[in-house]
Structure 1
Amino acid sequence: MQNDVAHRRLRELILDGTYPPGVRLTEVDAAATLEMSRTPVREALRALAADGLVRTTGRGAVVVALDPDDLEDAYQVRAALEALTAETAATRQRAGRIAPADLAALRDLAIVTADVTREGRLAEAVGLNRRFHRRIAELAGNAIALRTLDRVWDQIQVSTLRSLQPAVRHAHVSAQHDELLSAIVDGRAEDAGRIARLHVLDTRATAQETAPRA
């Protein structure tokens, strides 16, 4: 459906910073960009508002970012959910419910993510890092947790995009990914949950340190 296509494409443009926080999107301009009629764009903007990425204003919308308190809450929710999905994935692995090929693919993704992060390819690294954590959530098999994480991830990504810098602790990040992967592969559910939660909170602390001062 055109509504779904418009929603997906506008979401991508917001997440990659083409439309940063504060930018007003009119139905006319967005329709021209997407080469679509205004009707699917209107519906897409409504869906993005429900996602928490824009605030509708008449015949358009404004891209929004979380304020500092809400951003902190978002990281806390993300930490709790990623701990849950990591723990669940490890439990399913221990029960033999995850295919070896899926674990191998997750390991390959961790390696590529580490390489790209080390090379300072920031935009690509952000996407790969999210894919790594999303894949763990998929392996957990909890659809509600995955949908909620997608929404929280989107809001955090939009809210922190302006402050992103090349990772100064890429070795630490990659080491945590390796620890998390090992815990899941070994079926150590409690360790997997603990490492996942710590990793998210470390990410939040680093974002606070590198955020530009007013």
Structure 2
Amino acid sequence: MRVPSVYEQVRGLIVLGAYPAGQPITEQELCARLGVSRTPVRETLRRLESDGLVRAARRGVTVVELDAKALRDAYRMRAALDALTAELAARRQQAGKLAPADLGRLAEYADRADRATRGGDLVEGTRHNRAFHAWIATLADNPMVADALERIWDQIIVSTRVSLAAPARTARVDDEHRRMISAIEGGRPGEAAAAAREHVLATMSAVSEGVS
């Protein structure tokens, strides 16, 4: 079994909320927590700063919290990239490059996200929701876009703690997911892109009400 790298461990601690937005982190603390030397910790913090998750502070770093404008900017960028991945996935389906099992897995993620969120488990709901969108990026077969989306997701989650938006949007989120699945399954690139873009912008509007 592969041992997670120092970068993966620290990134996980931040994204999962062990180090919430606004909290300072020192090299010494991470070294003691992970049982590693300063060199990999220092390299990790530089990489996380490049990812936009932390910023340099007087002692160590501080976990970044996006303000209202920066959060809207992140969502708009995510909307553009999600639209692109949905379009590319639909084009690959149109070309007969996606297996039925690939599409079935997409539906499974949507089902799990909906069940968890309706059951009040927003942590699991968010996890499956992210997996749903990440799988569309996988189906799109564009690693550069998938990597950019991962970084944006991290920033959004750290700043909001709930990326599936408000409970009032639960049913709408599931409906929006189903429209995306239908368009991808049907090999309709334009419709898939529009559905993905509208879904993310609707989530942005719901989240912005709480941070604006």
Name the TM-score, length of structure 2 as normaliser: 0.93
Contact 1:89 1:139 in 2 (8 A): yes
Unaligned stretches of 5+ residues in structure 2: none
Name the structure 2 match of 1:147.
Answer: 147
After superposition, what is the alpha-carbon deviation per residue over 1:81-108, rounded to whole angstroms, capped at 9, x for unaligned? Answer: 1001101100100100111111111111
The number of residue pairs the alignment matches comes to: 211
- Aligned mates of 1:105, 1:93 — CA distance in 2: 14
CA distance in structure 2 between the aligned counterparts of 1:164 and 1:130, rounded to whole angstroms: 9
State the 1:157 CA deviation.
1.1
The question of whether the paired residues in 2 share the 8 Å contact of 1:180 and 1:196 is answered with: yes
Shift of residue 48, structure 1, vs aligned partner: 0.4
Take 1:78 and 1:16, find their aligned partners in 2: how far apart are those partners? 20
Q: Which consecutive residues of structure 1, in runs of 5 or more, have no partner in the other structure?
A: none
Which position in structure 1 is the counterpart of 2:61? 61
Q: Partner residue of 1:84?
A: 84
CA gap 1:196/1:165 in 2 versus in 1, 3 angstroms = closer
Kept in 2, the 8 Å contact 1:93–1:184? The answer is yes
Q: Which runs of 4+ in 1 moved over 3 A?
A: 162-166
1:192 Cα offset (Å): 0.5
Compute the TM-score of the two structures, normalised by the length of structure 1.
0.92
Q: Find out whether 1:23 has 2:23 as its counterpart.
A: yes
Deviates more, 1:151-160 or 1:194-203: 151-160
1:161 is the counterpart of 2:161:
yes
Shift of 1:57: 2.8
- Give 1:114-129 correspondences, 5 Å limit: 114-129=114-129
Change (3 A) 1:212 1:85: closer
Change (3 A) 1:25 1:125: same
Partner of 2:70 in structure 1? Answer: 70
Q: CA deviation at 1:33?
A: 1.4
Report the secondary structure of 1:169's partner residue.
helix
CA contact (8 A) 1:120 1:166 kept: no
1:200 and 1:162, CA in 2 relative to 1: closer, same or farther beyond 3 A? closer
Cα RMSD, aligned residues only: 2.0
Distance of aligned partners of 1:61 and 1:19 in 2 relative to their CA distance in 1, 3 Å threshold: same
